[in-house]
Structure 1
Amino acid sequence: MSGKVEFREIDPRGNAPSAAIEAAIVNLWNEALAPDMAISNTFVQYNLRPSAGVQSRIFLACIDDAIVGATLASALHGEPAVNPYGEGWIDLLVVASAFQRKGIGRHLLSLAEQWLAATGCCAAQIGGGLRPFAPGVPDTGVAGFFQRCGYEAFNTVWDMAANLATYRPPGNLSQNSCAARPAAPGQEEMLLDFLRREFPGRWRYEAEMFLADGGRISDYMLLWTERGIDGCCLLTFPDSVRPIERFYPYRLPKPWGQIGSIGVSADRRGQGLGSVLLDAGLRRLHDNGVNGCVIDWTTLIDFYGKFGFERYRAYGMVGKGLEPGLRIEQGCLDCLS
């Protein structure tokens, strides 16, 4: 190889990434992270799909046409309920191990930050985008890199997991007159009306995106009371439109499943309805043969612990303010000579 690194920019909406680029991202990620966080081509293809209102950019680091690093940045404007602080996301940043500690990762990150700033984002967050590879920085020893690049930690979130083969519901479930059952075809607008009323931000947006992607309405569980829908939760099965590997269940017994988001109406909280809905979702997964189950991206450790879930993986939420005039030269970086 010549040792000269060329940086290339791709707009996924206007120029869909080739199969070779998708495969390179998979290979880079899987080389950099442990097998229990492996991704697949299906996962990458799903996460690179266009989403309503989302702008995104891929930056590649190439040496003699070989891709040795990649980053993906995304931004959503015009949806203040979804993105009230006007931040952008660094969804992915990977560099081949043979080319790490040579300035490539830092330069890719700078290119992504420059692009986010140019779109009007006031801050950048690592992970946590609308098609996330991870909620934040996984607990794999890379947090120091982002700290050196000016990122500050503001929270820790968890994936939690359980083996539903031995699932037993808590003994204190509410006896309120409510029923939880799978959503049926034709109830899409009823689900969205509930989310617009109670969760008009990210969860409403994600439901719209899920349905636009061709997701089964029956993957949602609806909680019904005397006045209509008062809660919902989303399940992931092995054949759902959301790839199950997005939740990194590899340390768990197969078949795998996932549950979340989950929520009930604001004026019905504290009455045990959330527990009824969660139990119904878990029993449905169990009855469909799911063993290893993930509840992703949460801080409600004690609540889910009552249902047999334990901490599975931690993510550090880190962010950085972006200067409006930030300018990074793209060009070439001769960092290997």
Structure 2
Amino acid sequence: MGTQLGKLEIRPLRLDDEIDVVGVWNRAMGDLFPLRPRLLHQTTLGDPDLQEGDALVAWVEGRPRGFALARSWPPHAAHGEAQGWLEAVVVDPEVQRRGFGTALADEAERHLAAQGITAIWAGGGPAMFFPGVCTELQAGLHFVERRGYALFHRTHDLLGDLDAMPCLSRVDAALEAAGAEVRPCAEDEWEAAEAFLEREFPGTWPRDRRRHRRMGAPAHEIYLLWAKGEIIGLAQTYTDQSPVLGPSVYWAPALGAAEGGLGPIGLAEEWRGRGLGLALLARALEGLQSRGAHRAVIDWTELTGFYGILGFRVWRSYLLGPRVLG
């Protein structure tokens, strides 16, 4: 596929484009969202679910000058939906305001519409670069709103200092009262962890865990909450050195070295209301700290009060919303 508009050519991302695309991205917004080559590869050509035409590069006068990622879940994926995501549109600052971003977004949306997609969301999606459009990127907000996206839902990434995290006696008390314990997932417990997610949180969470597992994610970065011989809770953690990066550590270079991340985290419905969710959170964060992390990000959440108990505060905010096609 190639679309030529004057001096502009839009074509699918190729392996030898990656370094140039990283450069374009970081010139455009590397101060807020510094992109690493391994992250671009993981979320595009290194993703087994990437489809032809999902990742696009805009060439202007023979140079890569823009990038777009627009994805849907492939037909073979469990819990597939007839919706898509415009995950990123980036144009080199040297050639902005010349219509190249619009041309990229047009091509990306046509790619999704050709798959039968009827609603496209700004943000989210399989790569999960962003939960939505970052509120610090005013030009980005205006760009997607002009394209007809109704940005109505606000969500946040939170940042916490693990070295200053309070030690709560109620964490120990809640675990003791339930006869529960938190420990890293062993390799032979992976299938049981997946079954827990399918039962309690079907959809994106187990699907992402399976995809990351195929890409080489280890089991021990997952913390399991056990009671009565059963898994009743799960927390996914990452560090900036994880074999497969998670969204909570995508932008760790913006914070410095030795950063960690957490999410998703969930507790079985019948066990809620006993303080066990906070206990699972605290133990998983302690595990991150033991692996060398000093700060941690919890991505895509509205639960600022819950995470605030352990000192987490809003780091970045996003607006999420769809555009209905046709």
TM-score (norm 2): 0.90
What is the deviation of 1:315? 1.2
Which position in structure 1 is the counterpart of 2:307? Answer: 304
Is the deviation greater in 133-142 or in 47-56? Answer: 47-56
Q: Deviations over 1:99-127 (max 9, x none)?
A: 11111111111111111011011111122
Give, as a single letter, the amino acid of the residue that structure 2 aligns with 1:64: E
Q: CA deviation at 1:33?
A: 0.9
The aligned counterpart of 2:148 is 150
Which residue number corresponds to residue 123 of structure 2?
127
Which of 71, 74, 81 in structure 2 is aligned with 1:74? 71
1:221 aligns to what? 223
1:25/1:317 CA distance change after superposition, 3 Å: same
Return closer, same or farther for 1:185/1:77 CA change in 2, 3 Å cut-off.
closer
CA distance in 1: counterparts of 2:29 and 2:96, whole angstroms: 13
Q: Does 1:18 align with 2:21?
A: no
Deviation, structure 1 residue 82: 4.1
Amino acid at match of 1:134: F
1:138-177 mapped onto 2 (5 Å cutoff): 138-139=134-135, 140-141=137-138, 142-173=140-171, 174=174, 175-177=177-179
Q: Which residue of 2 aligns with 1:101?
A: 97
The structure-2 alpha-carbon separation of the partners of 1:295 and 1:82, relative to structure 1 and needing over 3 Å to count, comes to farther
The alpha-carbon distance between structure 1 residues 313 and 257, as it changes in their structure 2 partners (threshold 3 A), is same
Higher helix share: 2
| Residues 320 and 263 of structure 1: CA distance in aligned 2, closer, same or farther (over 3 Å) | same
Q: CA deviation at 1:36?
A: 3.2
**Counterpart residue identity of residue 193, structure 1:** A
1:333 corresponds in structure 2 to: none
Contact persistence 2:49–2:74 (CA under 8 A):
no
Match of 2:244 among 220, 242, 245: 242
Task: Work out which of the residue numbers 278, 282, 286 in structure 1 matches 2:285.
Answer: 282
- 1:289 deviates by 2.2
For residues 205 and 180 of structure 2, the distance between their equivalents in structure 1, rounded to whole angstroms, comes to 22
**One-letter amino acid matched to 2:280:** L
The C-alpha deviation readout for 1:211-263, integer Å capped at 9, x for no partner, is: 11111100000000114001111110232123368432345453110011000
Q: Are residue 320 (structure 1) and residue 323 (structure 2) matched?
A: yes
Q: Which amino acid aligns with 2:149?
A: Y
| Alignment partners' CA distance in 2, 1:55 and 1:224 | 42
Instruction: Provide closer, same or farther for how the CA distance between residues 305 and 83 of structure 1 changes in structure 2, counting only shifts above 3 A.
Output: farther
Which amino acid in 1 is paired with 2:151? Answer: A
Aligned partner of residue 240 in structure 1, secondary structure? coil
Compared with structure 1, are the counterparts of its residues 221 and 18 closer, same or farther at alpha carbon in structure 2 (3 Å cutoff)?
Answer: same
Residue 329 (structure 1) aligns with: none
Quick one: distance in 2 between partners of 1:307 and 1:287? 17
The answer as to whether partners of 1:163 and 1:253 remain within 8 angstroms in 2 is no
Where in structure 1 are there 5+ consecutive unaligned residues?
324-337
In structure 2, the residue matched to 1:62 is 59
Deviations 1:271-308 (A, max 9, x none): 22111110110111122221011001111110000011
2:268 pairs with 1:272: no
Q: CA deviation at 1:55?
A: 6.2
Quote the offset at 1:77 in angstroms.
Answer: 4.6
Equivalenced residue count is 314
Structure 1 window deviating more from structure 2 (102-111 vs 246-255): it is: 246-255
1:33 aligns with 2:29: yes
Bigger relative contact order, structure 1 or 2 (CA pairs below 8 A, ≥6 apart): 1
Secondary structure of residue in 1 paired with 2:292: coil
- What does residue 42 of structure 1 align with? 38
The yes-or-no answer on 1:230 pairing with 2:232 is yes
What residue number does 1:257 align with?
260
Q: Name the aligned partner's letter for residue 308 of structure 2.
A: G
SS of the residue corresponding to residue 32 of structure 2 reads helix
Which secondary structure does the structure 1 equivalent of 2:297 belong to? strand
Percent of counterpart pairs with the same letter? Answer: 28
Equivalent residue, structure 1, for 2:294: 291
CA contact (8 A) 1:133 1:246 kept: no
* Structure 2 unaligned spans of 5+: none
CA distance in 1, matches of 2:70, 2:142: 20
Alpha carbon RMSD of aligned pairs, Å? 2.1
Indicate the SS of the match to 1:196. helix
Say which is worse superposed, 305-314 or 287-296, in terms of deviation.
287-296
Q: Deviation digits for residues 128-186 of structure 1, max 9, x if unmatched?
A: 11112211111221201111111111211100011111222334332421100001121
- The alignment partner of 1:93 has SS state of strand
Q: Counterpart of 1:326?
A: none
